[in-house]
């Protein structure tokens, strides 16, 4: 069973933050960037961040619900660090339907 939690974060600078975050984490974790979408593979979950004109759509998926929940704060803190001029941003985390995995 996979668990996914997501948030839409309003910022006009989403693409910049996604690229900075993936570059930052690429020293210790597997990351991938395609256009304005970045993926970070943590030991226990995967975070996907897709930037648009008005914000970033974030989804964190993993097998353990507590691990996924724990990464919401990690991801938010890091984005806010790069978005210091407009931080703290608003993260309205919502669990998405669980899917068999």
Query: pTM of the predicted model, to two decimals?
Result: 0.93
Q: Which ranges of the chain would DSSP assign to H, the alpha helix? A: 14-25, 65-82
**What gap in Å lies between CA 40 and CA 16, rounded to an integer?**
15
Backbone angles phi, psi at 65, to 5 degrees: -60, -40
**What gap in Å lies between CA 87 and CA 6, rounded to an integer?**
19
Domain coordinates in residue numbering, the chain: 3-90
* Tokens 């648009």, residue located: 52
Q: Which tokens belong to 60? A: 């964190």
What is the pLDDT at residue 98? 55
Q: Which tokens belong to 22? A: 């993936």
Q: Are 62 and 6 in contact (CB under 8 A)?
A: no
Per-residue pLDDT of the chain (101 residues; tens, 9 = 90+): 899 999 999 999 999 999 999 999 999 999 999 999 999 999 999 999 999 999 999 999 999 999 999 999 999 999 999 999 999 999 999 999 655 54
Task: Say which CATH superfamily domain 3-90 falls into.
Answer: Alpha-D-phosphohexomutase, C-terminal domain (3.30.310.50)
């Amino acid at each position: 069973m996979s668990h996914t939690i997501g948030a839409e974060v309003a910022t006009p600078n989403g693409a910049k933050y996604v690229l900075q975050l993936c570059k930052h984490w690429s020293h210790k974790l597997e990351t991938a960037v395609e256009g304005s979408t970045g993926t970070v593979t943590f030991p226990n979950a995967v975070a996907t961040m897709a930037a648009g004109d008005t914000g970033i759509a974030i989804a964190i998926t993993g097998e353990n619900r507590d691990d996924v929940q724990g990464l919401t704060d990690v991801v938010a803190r890091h984005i806010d660090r790069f978005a210091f001029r407009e931080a703290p941003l608003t993260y309205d985390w919502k669990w998405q339907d669980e899917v068999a995995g």
